């Protein structure tokens, strides 16, 4: 089979691997769609060659593991002990594989498991014609959803869903979303679906246009406008009741506190970098509730897929580009530029 390799320093190439065989409790999946995620860029693609093959922010940054952690495809072969899946099933792989027996795993929070493995980081992932996954990490894809939608829900859109759900967004809320990459754009879609009035912030024109297309009520270019002043203007001087930070930009991370109203709620989702905050003025005296939100659980993915299938969410409008593995160089360059919506690799 063919698979991608990210040796670092923005290089990508295709390598031939033997077709994988399923072990006990495992299935082999014929890949149909696999999304490019911000973490692929930050931890695997952009990182200099000399900084690879070590832990960065707790993530194993490999130069030889097959990348890709938004897998969606068809079960090709099942291994010994597999009871719930059969050849031909359409599945998504939840990208974090917990041990299954520790307290965190039993609570559903595989990401907190001390012995977890992450597909595309510690173990081979989905930028390949086939991948091996544990049966317990697979979730059936409803017939109503395409493989492209499935791979987007597998990490980026699922992460946005979790943050929006925890914020209890309703028709009473004005919601700011800073950073309109694939996670931020999906957050715009969910915030609108839950009834919020959405203000979307990003310096890249294409991204603001996509946000507008899926219903953002206002868009702001932070390079041209004073973001805090504009948000205050839109919200009668109060600020937003709910805010989601998906950019990880230090300025945005601070501005989002200043543009959230007294008693408002802020979710930090975008990863990397650091920020300096005036805790008294920006948080305490405003009675803000702030939390970090990191991916989601398998039961939440199941709820989300059910919801998406019934509500016919317009996620396809956010998927702007599809490439084959052979076109990886072009796909990664585009993703790196940020001038797109969601980018996915597609197989026939």
- Vertex 117, ends 324 and 38: CA angle to 5°? 45
Query: Which of these segments, 12-20, 56-64, 98-106, 175-183, binds Zn ion (CB under 5 A)?
Result: 98-106
- Nearer residue to Zn ion within complex by CB, 112 or 165: 112
Query: Could you say whether residue 328 binds Zn ion (CB under 5 A)?
Result: no
DSSP codes, 58-79: TEEE-SSS-----EEEEEEEE-
Phi-psi region of 8 (alpha: psi -120 to 50; beta: other; left: phi over 0): left
Q: Got the DSSP string for 252-314?
A: HHHHHHHTEEEEEEEEE---SS-----IIIIIGGGT-EEEE-----HHHHHHHHHHHHHHT--
Q: How many residues bind Zn ion (CB under 5 A)?
A: 8
Contact between 335 and Zn ion by CB under 5 A: the answer reads no
Minimum CB separation from Zn ion for residue 294, in Å? 11
Window contacting Zn ion (CB under 5 A); options: 12-20, 149-157, 222-230, 321-329? 149-157
Task: Return phi, psi of residue 149, to 5°.
Answer: -65, -45
Q: How far is the CB of 156 from Zn ion (least distance, A)?
A: 6
Tokens of 294: 């990191």
Q: Using CA atoms, how far apart are residues 304 and 307, in angstroms rounded to an integer? A: 5
CB atoms within 10 A of CB 228: 18
Q: Which of 27, 31, 66, 113 binds Zn ion (CB under 5 A)?
A: 113
**Which one of the spans 155-163, 192-200, 304-312, 327-335 is the region binding Zn ion (CB under 5 A)?**
155-163
In the complex, minimum distance from the CB of residue 295 to Zn ion, in angstroms, rounded to a whole number: 8
Interface region with Zn ion, contact rule CB under 5 A, candidates 120-128, 129-137, 147-155, 249-257: 147-155
> What is the rounded CA–CA span in Å between residue 153 and residue 131?
18
Given the rule CB under 5 A, which of 106-114, 142-150, 196-204, 319-327 is the region that contacts Zn ion?
106-114
Task: Decide whether 133 or 155 has the Cβ nearer to Zn ion.
Answer: 155
**Options 155, 177, 185, 304; binder of Zn ion; rule CB under 5 A:** 155
State the Cα–Cα distance between residues 208 and 73, nearest whole angstrom. Answer: 31
Is residue 99 part of the contact set for Zn ion (CB under 5 A)? yes
Residues 9-48 that bind Zn ion (CB under 5 A): 37, 39
Q: Under the criterion CB under 5 A, does residue 293 sit at the interface with Zn ion? A: no
Taking a C-beta distance cutoff of 8 angstroms, is the pair 45, 332 a contact? yes
Name the site residues for Zn ion (rule: CB under 5 A): 37, 39, 98-99, 102, 105, 113, 155
């Amino acid at each position: 089979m063919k698979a991608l390799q990210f040796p670092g320093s923005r290089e990508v190439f295709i390598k031939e691997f033997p077709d994988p065989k399923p072990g006990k409790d495992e299935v082999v999946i014929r890949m149909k769609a696999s999304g490019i995620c911000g973490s692929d860029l930050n931890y695997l693609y952009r990182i200099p060659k000399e900084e690879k093959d070590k832990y960065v922010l707790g993530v194993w940054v490999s130069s030889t593991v097959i990348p890709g952690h938004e897998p969606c495809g068809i079960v090709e072969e099942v291994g010994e002990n597999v009871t719930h899946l059969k050849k031909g099933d359409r599945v998504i792989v939840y990208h974090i594989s917990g041990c299954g027996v520790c307290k965190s795993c039993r609570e559903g929070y595989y990401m907190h498991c001390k012995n977890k493995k992450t597909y595309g980081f510690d173990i081979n992932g989905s930028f390949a014609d086939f991948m091996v996954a544990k049966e317990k990490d697979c979730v059936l894809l409803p017939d109503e959803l395409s493989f492209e939608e499935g791979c987007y829900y597998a990490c980026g859109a699922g992460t946005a869903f979790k943050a929006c759900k925890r914020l209890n967004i309703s028709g009473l809320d004005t919601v700011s979303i800073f950073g309109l990459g694939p996670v931020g754009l999906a957050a715009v879609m969910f915030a609108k679906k839950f009834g919020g009035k959405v203000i979307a912030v990003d310096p890249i024109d294409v991204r603001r246009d996509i946000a507008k297309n899926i219903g953002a009520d206002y868009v702001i270019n932070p390079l041209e406008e004073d973001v805090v002043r504009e948000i205050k203007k839109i919200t009668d001087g109060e600020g937003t009741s709910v805010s989601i930070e998906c950019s990880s930009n230090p300025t945005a991370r601070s501005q989002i506190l200043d543009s959230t109203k007294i008693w408002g709620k802020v979710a930090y989702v975008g990863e990397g970098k650091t920020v300096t905050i005036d805790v008294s003025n920006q948080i305490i005296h405003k009675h803000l509730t702030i939390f970090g939100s990191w991916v989601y659980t398998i039961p939440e993915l199941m709820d989300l897929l059910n919801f998406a299938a019934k509500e016919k969410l317009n996620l396809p409008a956010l998927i702007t580009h599809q490439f084959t593995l052979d076109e990886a160089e072009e796909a990664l360059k585009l993703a790196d530029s940020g001038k797109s919506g969601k980018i996915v690799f597609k197989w026939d």
